[in-house]
Homo-oligomer: A and B are copies of this chain.
Amino acid sequence: MKELDKIFARIVQRVNINLREIDFDVNPFAVELIPPDQMSKFYAFYGITPDHPLDLHFQHSALAGSYFLGKCQVRNSLLYKSDIRGDELKRKGDTVTFKRFSITLTNDEMIDIRNSALVKTLVHNYSHDPETPEVFFITDTLAMDYANIHGSPTDGSFLGPFATVDLTTVRDSVIGAYSYIQAGEISHLHIEPGTIWVNSPGNFNFYYRHPPEQLEHYISLSPDKVPWGLLIDFIEERKVEFQRVFDVVNLKEIGSVPESAKVDRYAVVLPNIKIGENVLVSQRAYLKNSSLGRGANAQENCFIINSTLEGFNVTAHGAKIIEARLGRKVFVGFNSFLNGNTEQMLTIGEGCVIMPHTIIDIKKPLEIPADHLVWGLIRNEADLALNSLPKTTLSAVDSSLTQGRMHFEGKGGLFVKALSDRIDHILEVNGAFFANGENDGHAQRNQKLSLNTIQPFQFGPMQGMYPTITIRP
């Protein structure tokens, strides 16, 4: 048995031990998850910038084509083309405030991945857990294609494809396919597929679940099968265009990118792209025939096709925008799928917030008025009426509101404020407000990003595994 198979069997067992109380067996989902012969085909790479500390340690792990930035250690784990970003980790001396606690860090924060298998998973942001401010851990966890572990220390858990955990500490839990959880701390929960849950205890609680029989069309997962559905097909069809950017050592620079903007070297940029000032296009973003106005950003794994984004737009990780016009400051949350088409344009008014994991898939033109909150599955005008609200209406909610499959409890004003504060913060850290040499963010700082590669063993029982590699300044 090759080392790669041994380590995978060990990870699966560890996840199952953690999930024994909720009686979940990850074994059937592990089938074909890590393609052993693919694991030695790719090179992993890491970014170096003058702006953040470098500290990488890889031990007894396979990394395939994964990407690393900042401080990270990976031990006894398998990563298959995952994207592990450490550029927003906290630093030694930083003080974080959590309710009545003020915590000063004695070390730089580090991402610590152990005994885990992550497939095309994005790991980003920093540990929002006040219990472990210096360690963003991911242990005994199995995460499937395009899962998103965002500021969420995770232990003993299983994440289905396109599942997102956001600013949440997750222990011994199962997060179903295409579920989005932002809930501070969860433990021993089995979250059904297509659940959108934003909970700030004492403040607000937002809950929606995609209709299972309709969600299946977009993303499905069954034991003993690889995930399937429209979202998987959509990505697979565009895979070949990513090939090119990884095969060539020195890629031609894309013309006419303003000096204040940054288009990553590992982004796919197809013809007819207009990039405004302060725009950030992250690696593995896919852009085709679209315009990104001043201060817009296109985050990892997003797709923007035949669309116009007016400016200060956030296209979050994994979001897909096809044949759409987005006004200024429209926010499109993680893994949302906005699927217009040439004849049936989708128009979204200024200041709208498209909740994470929203699907808009239209057969007729659809226009969403400005300053609305939008969620769930929307296929027509009637769905839109049920799955959206003016932000002002929501702000006025004082105790609870139920509309269609959505349930809200708590203070609407606090929820809307939390959303808009966060959007402003995202724009700020990405450098959207850069002017006169001030307010620089990722778009400007990543100008000086260089990418280095590391490679696995090519032969013998260790094939596909990486040597023990330590990289420090």
Residues of A within 8 A of B (CB): 48-50, 54, 247-250, 448, 450, 452-455, 457-460, 462, 467-473
B-side contacts of A450, CB under 8 Å: 455, 457-459
B-side contacts of A470, CB under 8 Å: 468-471
Residue in B50, B249, B453, B467 whose CB lies within 8 Å of A459? B50
Q: In the complex the two chains form, is A467's CB within 8 Å of B54's CB?
A: yes
Q: In the complex the two chains form, is B455's CB within 8 Å of A459's CB?
A: no
B-side contacts of A455, CB under 8 Å: 450, 452-453
B-side contacts of A454, CB under 8 Å: 452, 454
A108 to B247, CA, bound (A): 37
A452 to B460, CA, bound (A): 16
Q: In the complex the two chains form, is B48's CB within 8 Å of A457's CB?
A: yes
Closest to A467 in B: B471
Q: In the complex the two chains form, is A467's CB within 8 Å of B472's CB?
A: yes
Q: In the complex the two chains form, is A448's CB within 8 Å of B460's CB?
A: yes
Nearest Cβ distance between residue A330 and chain B, in whole angstroms? 34
Q: In the complex the two chains form, is B473's CB within 8 Å of A471's CB?
A: no
A452 to B44, CA, bound (A): 11
B-side contacts of A471, CB under 8 Å: 467-470
Nearest Cβ distance between residue A49 and chain B, in whole angstroms? 8
A79 to B131, CA, bound (A): 46
A450 to B467, CA, bound (A): 12
Nearest Cβ distance between residue A70 and chain B, in whole angstroms? 13
B-side contacts of A49, CB under 8 Å: 459
Closest to A459 in B: B448
B-side contacts of A472, CB under 8 Å: 467-468
Q: Would you list the 8 A-B pairs with minimal beta carbon distance, nearest first?
A: A450-B458, A452-B455, A470-B470, A468-B472, A448-B459, A50-B460, A467-B471, A469-B471
- Since A247-B249, A452-B453, A469-B470 are in contact, a sample of 13 more A-B pairs with Cβ atoms closer than 8 Å, ordered by chain A residue number, is A48-B467, A49-B459, A50-B459, A50-B460, A247-B250, A248-B249, A448-B459, A450-B455, A450-B457, A468-B470, A468-B471, A469-B471, A470-B470
Nearest Cβ distance between residue A109 and chain B, in whole angstroms? 19
A250 to B460, CA, bound (A): 21
B-side contacts of A460, CB under 8 Å: 50, 448
A239 to B471, CA, bound (A): 32
Most chain B beta-carbon neighbours within 10 Å: one of A448, A452, A462:
A452
Can you show 8 pairs from A to B with CB atoms below 8 A apart?
A48-B467, A248-B249, A249-B249, A450-B457, A452-B454, A452-B455, A453-B455, A469-B471
A461 to B149, CA, bound (A): 35
Nearest Cβ distance between residue A390 and chain B, in whole angstroms? 47
Nearest Cβ distance between residue A381 and chain B, in whole angstroms? 51
A462 to B48, CA, bound (A): 12
B-side contacts of A249, CB under 8 Å: 247-249
B-side contacts of A452, CB under 8 Å: 453-455
